[in-house]
Amino acid sequence: MTTFEEIRPVETRFRLDQEIMAGPIYRKYEKAARTVWDPKQLDYEPDAADWERMTEDQRAGIAMITVRFEAGEQEVTDELLPMLAAAHALGRFDWVMYISTFMQEEARHSQFFTLWHARVAGLLTPAEKAAYWPLREHTVDPHGRFKVGEPVYEGLPKYGKQLQNAVDSGDEVAIERAFVQFATLYCAWVEGVLTMPSYEIVIDTTELWDVLPTLRFGFRRILSDEGRHITFGTQSCRILIERNPAYAELVHKVIDEYRGNAVGMLEYQRNVPGLDLDKYQRQKVRHYLNRCREMGLTADDSLVAQILDPEIDFVVGVEAG
């Protein structure tokens, strides 16, 4: 008769050791555990008063970004599970511990935006929020060279499904490949480059207009959390790429698939009055080069040149709603 000890030796039941606890991913877990914040404890009254005083253009410019964030945070909360399953399948317990905080933080960000819309902007229903959502199809490259995709609503479910299928297959190489693709899209490209201008736009404009202190506070707290998400993704990719350098090509391919989303400013990012859009393009390049450095990869110079090329920009053809 097989004993329980033979099925699962006692020594294998302990996952957390001193080496793991000294590592960079475990450190992120500890930091996340120390920096929990509660959106329900924030004071939304000053923002509500500001909202009443703001012009309709100012409100629309901000709301076009915040409704994207609310939905985006909910989407990523809901699409993160395959990454956790993959960390488990790869036997990386420090990654499992960290991703548990990552998921909770995305849920907290979802809560923050839902509360802010309800208490400040009076946006309660999906229809009220959708009225501030210009469709992605309305952003076009007038020269037809680039296509703007939906990395969050099309890409993450696609790569998440591939990752889950790899986990189900039990094939370690397949899991590692799919993990690199998912982490590249989610952490390095969406969180680490594409959404960065939106944070800066909200922080810059609310400072300039001296309004919405709670929204600005929330964005800063979210950015602090995102810093861990981004660098978890890039550091875990680096670990896997160092094991198998062929994975580097996967990173470039995923980014190339959504190259169009970086070469111009998107519809919801260009409606705030008075912005210097070139500043945010330059910063996208800096963020991209940071991600490459963190992953130990050589940057794609043609992508950098295209992001900075003033001849490449998009037009927005149709108003929101």
Partner 1 sequence: MAALRWRCMEVGCDTVVTAPTDELLVEAVTAHAREAHDSYELEEVILAGAEDGTPDEEKI
What is the binding site for partner 1 (CB under 8 A)?
28, 200, 223-224, 226-228, 230-231, 234-235, 279, 282-283, 285-286, 289-290, 293-294, 304, 308
Q: How far is the CB of 252 from partner 1 (least distance, A)?
A: 18
3-state secondary structure of 140: strand
Write down how long the chain is: 321
Q: How far is the CB of 167 from partner 1 (least distance, A)?
A: 26
Burial 128-156 (b: 16+ CB within 10 A, else e): ebeebbbebebbbbeeeebebeebbeebb
The token duo for 216 is 């600005």
For the chain, count helices (H), then strands (E).
Answer: 16, 2
Q: How far is the CB of 297 from partner 1 (least distance, A)?
A: 13
Task: Compute the distance between CA of residue 88 and CA of residue 82 in angstroms, rounded to an integer.
Answer: 10
Q: Which is nearer to partner 1, 243 or 293 (CB)?
A: 293
3-state secondary structure of 279: helix
Task: Tell me if 185 sits within 8 A of 157, measured CB to CB.
Answer: no
DSSP state of 316: E
Q: Which is nearer to partner 1, 58 or 234 (CB)?
A: 234
Q: How far is the CB of 291 from partner 1 (least distance, A)?
A: 9
Q: Which is nearer to partner 1, 10 or 22 (CB)?
A: 22
Task: Compute the distance between CA of residue 228 and CA of residue 124 in angstroms, rounded to an integer.
Answer: 30
Q: Which is nearer to partner 1, 44 or 98 (CB)?
A: 98
Task: Compute the distance between CA of residue 67 and CA of residue 129 in angstroms, rounded to an integer.
Answer: 6
Q: Which is nearer to partner 1, 16 or 289 (CB)?
A: 289
Q: How far is the CB of 227 from partner 1 (least distance, A)?
A: 3
Q: How far is the CB of 234 from partner 1 (least distance, A)?
A: 7
Amino acid at 122: G
Q: Which is nearer to partner 1, 27 or 136 (CB)?
A: 27
